[in-house]
Amino acid sequence: MKITEDEQYKEMMLKYNFAMQRLETELNILLKEYEYKKGYNPVEHIKTRIKSIDSATKKLKDKNCEVTVDNLIRKVYDMIGVRIVCSFLSDVYDIVDLIKSTKQFIIKRENNYIDNPKSSGYRSYHLIVLVPIYLGEIVEYIEAEIQVRTVAMDCWASLDHKLRYKFPNCIPKEVTEGLLECSKDIDKLDLKMQSLYNILREYNN
Ligand code: 0O2
């Protein structure tokens, strides 16, 4: 029997839903355990999403790839996305280490856009993980992107996204330069907040 693109798409979405649920559960357990052991919750909030088909299609077109289910699976690494927003810079690195230490998923790739920000000024720590899902006797690994960042980085990314989304074709140079400046200010803010946090930690010790 020939599987149609439509059936392939439904199957793909079903697997993404399984993988998303698995990833959410495992991350919740990891974070709860961390909080229990350290007596401290480093997470401000978590957002999860499965990328819309419109956004995934746009991504494929931007990469000059034909829009097929096969290419969606192989070329769009962030169909499943989790964003973990932390309070302080040190929390970001603690959470990244925590995720890297688990045996529940495989780390396929990592991008440290904090030490090496994107040319836009974007800062965040990205992990591409492989989440195992069990279908009868078969194990399949589904890719997901976990973004870990501070509240300040999240604020910048959210406003940057809004500006670029609203004016996709006509971003004047002064705006891109302004965004880059804001990103540097955000970095300074993160470093300052971290130093204040370090002082208080010293006091408490
Ligand atoms: P959305 O709205 O989050 O779905 P690759 O995935 O490796 O083929 P890509 O897409 O360049 O290549 O990967 P990258 O840059 O590691 O991560 C992509 C995601 O990071 C984006 O997903 C955004 O969420 C975020 N991101 C990257 N650069 C910027 C930026 O300049 N500004 C903002 N606000 N976010 C950024 P999507 O699919 O583009 O968007």
**Residue 145: strand pairing partners:** 81, 128
Tokens, residue 171:
């971003």
Residue % of the chain over a pLDDT of 90: 77
| Distance in angstroms (rounded) separating the CA atoms of residues 176 and 40 | 37
Edge-to-edge strand ranges of the sheet holding 125-135: 43-50, 80-86, 138-150, 125-135, 106-112
**Residue 125: strand pairing partners:** 112, 148
pLDDT at position 170 is 79
Report the predicted TM-score, pTM, of the whole model to 2 decimal places.
Answer: 0.93
What would the mean pLDDT of 103-113 be, rounded to a whole number? 96
Identity of residue 29: I
pLDDT at position 1 is 45
Please, what is the average pLDDT of the chain?
A: 93
Which of 54, 64, 78 has most ligand 1 atoms within 8 Å of CB, for mutation?
78
Decide: 154 in ligand 1 pocket, CB within 6 A. no
pLDDT of residue 3 exceeding 80, the answer is no
Tokens, residue 103:
């045996």
| Distance in angstroms (rounded) separating the CA atoms of residues 87 and 151 | 6
Identity of residue 192: K
Written in H, E and C, the secondary structure of 29-62 is: HHHHHHHHHHCCCCEEEEEEEECCHHHHHHHHHH
Decide: 113 in ligand 1 pocket, CB within 6 A. no
101 pLDDT tier (thresholds 50, 70, 90):
very high
